[in-house]
Amino acid sequence: MKTQSQKAADFEALHKAPGCFVIPNPWDPGSARILAGLGFKALTTTSAGYARSIGVVDYKAGRENVIEHIRLMAPAVDIPLAADLENGFGPSPKDCADTIRMGAEAGLVGGSIEDFTGDRGNPIYEIGAAAERVRAAAEAARKLPFKFMLCARAENYLNGRPDLADTIKRLQAYQEAGADVLFAPGLNTSDEVREVCRSLDKPFNVMRGPRKEMLSVAQLAELGVKRVSLGGMLHAAATHGLIAAAKEIAAMGTFEFSKAIPFAAEIDTLLTKGAGE
């Protein structure tokens, strides 16, 4: 198994290599190993997927549970693990710095801090305060004995504020504050994605791609995107299969769903391969 420093170096190298890479989001050690077994080079956790897997909605898992979740996930695979660290689990810059230190201690080599306040009535931190939070996180990351890829997220579009100019201004401020990767989930069009990429000097992450277009990884790379994450989509896809199968059984008493599921041997092979065994 690679050391954390080796995983960190691999993760940094992915961001420096040509082209665009996909960093999918597992929600437990098993899904992490399956994704690693399928050949993905790095993973990042999903706050929504993990929260729902323990029976609560997004943002309700809490930092203690999330850190313990990371502690179980990181050694499960021999590839880099980053994490959705929500808004740093607190309003102050110190909260963000503490969360980065705790995540790194648990095994992370990257993680994101967002500018969502947690208050739907006033959802986005003022830009100066948001940048200070990123700066504190970046300072904590720089003190680690390995390269920690800090991602800073601008959450305007997920909170009813589709203001491209303000989003770019925020991302530039977070870049200046020390973020290694920038992320603005929820952008609507390829033109918006292209404009953001043109406005930044650091790698840009998208969640699948613009909301109103279904673009391939190659098309996103042409726009300037460096990495593509999926948020809670894979967990939602798995849950969709669960719901559909359970509905069939409950409503019709049939088991047609079982014709399409993978054989146990295929799952076990991926689990073993993903564990590096």
- Which pLDDT tens digit goes with each residue over 198-245? 999 999 999 999 999 999 999 999 999 999 999 999 999 999 999 999
Do 141 and 150 form a contact (C-beta atoms < 8 A)?
Answer: yes
Query: For the segment 163-207, what is each residue's pLDDT rounded down to a tens digit?
Result: 999 999 999 999 999 999 999 999 999 999 999 999 999 999 999
Q: What is the mean pLDDT of the chain?
A: 98
- Go through the domains of the chain in sequence order and give each one's CATH number: 4-274 (3.20.20.60)
Statement: residue 273 has pLDDT above 90: yes
CB distance 8 to 109 below 8 Å: yes
Is 90 exceeded by the pLDDT of residue 128? yes
Band of residue 149 on the pLDDT scale cut at 50, 70, 90 = very high
Residue-level pLDDT at 276 = 87
Give one DSSP letter per residue of 101-159, joined into a string: HHHHHHT-SEEEEE-B-S-TTS-B--HHHHHHHHHHHHHHHHTSSS--EEEEE--GGGG
Provide the pLDDT for residue 177.
98
Q: What is the pLDDT of residues 29-65, one digit of tens each?
A: 999 999 999 999 999 999 999 999 999 999 999 999 9
Confidence of residue 277 (pLDDT cuts 50, 70, 90): confident
Q: Mean per-residue pLDDT for 131-141?
A: 98
